[in-house]
Structure 1
Amino acid sequence: MTKLVVCPEANPSLPSLVTTDPTVIAAHLAGIGVAFEQWITAGPLPDSADQNAVLAAYADGVARIRAKGFDTVDVARLAGDLDDPAFLAKAAEARAKFLSEHTHADDEIRFFVEGSGAFYLRVDGSVHMIVCEAGDYLFVPKNTRHWFDMGTRPRFAAIRFFAIPEGWVGEFTGDPIASSFASYDELVSAGS
């Protein structure tokens, strides 16, 4: 279930808002310049689905976003045997990369087509934690401080859109704030 938790930067354990209502989530995020929508998904992906298969399944939506100037598109996907130590090591390495606060000189667009993960947006003295699931579309404006947590046992696929040909280019802030906030696993286990 999609979930939004908002806490002050200075007090990560004192939420000012907790909601699973998509209308409330969209309205709140719009207030900080972030777009949130829920799209229809094409259904479960086979484990063998590669980037081309995922993009083909969502060709209409991809074309709509590309028409807005986001010409570079890829798929971030982690799906594997959660009992396989090699997969878990690969997942831990990928998770560590995105857990540090960073910004982009480009707007960031993600459409989750499978599984879930949490985006943390640091805006106006608060951290806005959004657990995104299949069907969730998130537009984050350039230069927004944020990080992403896929959890310790990830299974997700997200189509990523970029206006720059280089694709994902993170500028890490060096601020350790991410370690002060609930992890994806904690957000999900806390229920709604």
Structure 2
Amino acid sequence: MSSLSVYHVSSPDLPNKVLTHFDDITATLAEQGVRFDRWQAAVKLQPGATDEELVAAYQGPLDQLMTDRGYLGVQVISVSSEQQPSAEPQARRLEEQHFEEDHVRFFVAGRGLFNLHIGEYVYAVLCEKNDLILVPAGTRHWFDMGERPHFVAIGLFRTALEPLAHITPGGIAGDFPPLDD
């Protein structure tokens, strides 16, 4: 189940609020300029579907978002604990960062935890299957895929390639609870 935990930066162990209802999550994030949505596939996806089949299953809402926001690039990102990701890429994702363009992820399968550092608060968004998150350009955040990562996501970009992340010196990512497996 998707959830949103809101922490003050001074109390990373105790959330101010925890939301689990889709409308509450959406409204709270919208107040911060973050889009959170839920999409359904137009067709039933089979295990082992190709990247092209995954994109085609969500083509309608993807095309609409790409047109509305000017995105040109689409990438399917598939991560599994069976792939044995090295410790360095995992550690890098737990560093606070920002991009010069929106950071868009739609979860086709699995889950991941987006932590958004906005002002004096951290918004920890647990994204699961069918969840879309659009983190506005410049928003400091980090992504936690857990100790045993498993997710398939579709990323959208303004260019053909994923933009470079800018690491926040002295970021606070390590102070907040990680994604529990």
TM-score, reference length from structure 2 = 0.90
Q: 1:165 to 1:133 in 2, by over 3 A?
A: same
Count of aligned residue pairs for this structure pair: 179
Corresponding residue SS for 1:184:
coil
Say if 1:12 and 1:136 are closer, same or farther in 2 by CA, change over 3 A: same
Deviation at 1:151, TM superposition (A): 0.5
Q: CA RMSD in A?
A: 1.8
Look up the match of 1:123. 118
2:81–2:148: 8 Å Cα contact kept in structure 1? no
Map residues 27-66 of structure 1 onto 2, 5 A cutoff. Answer: 27-41=27-41, 46=47, 48-66=48-66
| Structure 1 runs of 4+ with >6 Å offset | none
Counterpart-to-counterpart distance in 1, 2:72 and 2:50: 19
Q: Does residue 139 of the first structure (1) align with residue 134 of the second (2)?
A: yes
Mapping for residues 1-192 of structure 1, pairs under 5 Å: 1-41=1-41, 46=47, 48-68=48-68, 69-79=70-80, 81=82, 87-88=83-84, 90=85, 92-185=87-180
CA gap 1:91/1:158 in 2 versus in 1, 3 angstroms: farther
Supply the distance in 2 between the matched residues of 1:157 and 1:121 (Cα, whole angstroms).
Answer: 21
Aligned partner of residue 92 in structure 2, secondary structure: helix
In the alignment, structure 2 segments of 5+ residues that lack a partner are: none
- With normalisation by structure 1, the TM-score equals 0.85
Shift of 1:105: 0.3
- Percent identity over the alignment is 35
Matches of 2:139 and 2:40 in 1, distance apart? 27
Query: Offset at 1:179?
Result: 0.6
